[in-house]
Amino acid sequence: QVQLVESGGGLVQPGGSLRLSCAAPVSMFSMYAMGWYRQAPGKQRELVAGITTGGDTNYADSVKGRFTISRDNAKNTLYLQMTSLKPEDTAVYYCNVQRTWRSYWGQGTQVTVSS
């Protein structure tokens, strides 16, 4: 079983920034579609941002203009740059990679936005 490893979470004040990273030890990394999800306490997991193999991106309305998803195929790493963070962005953030029937998740990294 492939285990993705997220990093970069933490405590940040409102208006601050964080950069999440996700290391994905899979072969043919460039052929995977990828995404960042989050789950706040008492809420369902939701898609935050996605990126295709061709580099096309999509974002949840709540993060458009503030978050940027990117991938480095040479480093097998997925990123999420988060700016202008709000308290409602507080959640556990998970990365996911998918290719045909393969779908792998990380263990999650906590992001807390609070003053």
Q: What pLDDT is stored for residue 65 in this prediction?
A: 97
Mean pLDDT in residue range 12-26? 96
Which residue carries 């990365």 as its tokens? 95
* Residue 84 confidence (pLDDT) above 90: yes
Residue 30 phi/psi, 5° resolution?
Answer: -65, -15
Take residue 93 and report the two structure tokens written for it.
Answer: 């953030």
72 within 8 A of 19, measured Cβ to Cβ: no
Q: What pLDDT is stored for residue 1 in this prediction?
A: 81
pLDDT in tens, 24-75: 998 889 999 999 999 999 999 999 999 999 999 999 999 999 999 999 999 9
Rounded to 5°, the CA angle 86-106-104 comes to 125
Mean pLDDT in residue range 92-98? 97
Contacts of 42 (CB under 8 A, 6+ apart): none
Residue 52 phi/psi, 5° resolution?
Answer: -85, 175
Closest CA to 81 of 73, 52, 96, 89: 89
